[in-house]
């Protein structure tokens, strides 16, 4: 279900490409939100002193439902719990499917990594050592495998964070922070620090 934010009488919030707040009297041009994003938008962008001038309005198949008082998803006690529970159940199922895909991909990329590492260790079939060009090609392949592995590994960690998080972790922003930390992580060398000075 989509929602728009209304100020006073028929002044709907509309954000441009720079996210600057504008207003329009045409509800079809108003920015669409989920309820939670609309609520967060008001908390982050509207002063508490004037927040009571704004309300969140539900859009229903192109029409809008104008509440008598301050809009709320719990108005008249008709919140569609079954629909939301079904949506949540579908989301959990999608996460499980994604996790299984990641596990399969990770298993495959691990085998590729082991293959390349063993190729580095062993001489060629004729007993001779690799020349510079051959080693370069092996190195490129190894980097490609390691980068794919890192992407998959990071995604697995993010799924793990979401699956083990509590409701409080979502509400206080802990989940978002942990995921951002994964995206921004940097490796600290343990022994061969000179390799990271290049």
**Are 14 and 47 in the same domain?**
yes
Looking at residue 111, its pLDDT comes to: 96
Helices and strands (H, E) in the chain, number of each type: 5, 5
- List of residues 6+ apart from 25 with CB closer than 8 A: 10, 11, 12
- pLDDT beyond 90 at 129: no
**Are 17 and 102 in the same domain?**
no
**Are 90 and 187 in the same domain?**
yes
Q: Which of 3-7, 71-75, 104-108, 171-175 has the lowest mean pLDDT?
A: 71-75
**Could you tell me the residue range of the domain that residue 135 belongs to?**
81-197
**Are 91 and 148 in the same domain?**
yes
* Tokens matching residue 166: 């509590």
Indicate the average pLDDT of the chain. 85
**Are 119 and 146 in the same domain?**
yes
**Are 96 and 187 in the same domain?**
yes
Mean pLDDT (whole number) for 16-42: 83
**Are 150 and 91 in the same domain?**
yes
pLDDT tier, 161 (very low <50, low <70, confident <90, very high otherwise): very high
How many other C-beta atoms are found inside a 10 Å radius of the C-beta of residue 176?
A: 12
**Are 160 and 92 in the same domain?**
yes
| Global confidence as pTM | 0.58
Q: Which residues pair with residue 6 across a beta bridge? A: 12, 55
């Amino acid at each position: 279900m989509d929602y728009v934010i209304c100020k006073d009488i028929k002044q709907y919030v509309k954000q441009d490409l720079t996210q600057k707040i504008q207003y329009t009297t045409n509800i079809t041009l108003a920015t669409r939100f989920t309820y939670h994003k609309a609520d967060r938008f008001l908390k982050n962008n509207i002063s508490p002193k004037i927040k009571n001038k704004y309300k969140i309005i539900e859009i229903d198949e192109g029409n809008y439902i104008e509440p008598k008082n301050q809009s709320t998803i719990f108005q008249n006690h008709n919140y569609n719990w079954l629909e939301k529970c079904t949506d949540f159940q579908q989301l959990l199922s999608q996460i499980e499917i994604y996790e299984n895909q990641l596990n399969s991909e990770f298993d495959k990329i691990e085998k590729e990594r082991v293959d390349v590492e063993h190729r580095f260790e062993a001489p060629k079939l004729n007993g001779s050592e690799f020349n510079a060009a051959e080693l370069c090609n092996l190195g490129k392949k190894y980097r490609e495998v390691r980068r794919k592995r890192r992407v998959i590994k990071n995604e697995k960690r993010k799924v793990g964070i979401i699956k083990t998080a509590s409701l409080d972790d979502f509400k206080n922003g802990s989940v978002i922070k942990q995921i951002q930390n994964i995206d921004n992580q940097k490796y600290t060398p343990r022994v061969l620090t000179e390799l990271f000075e290049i």
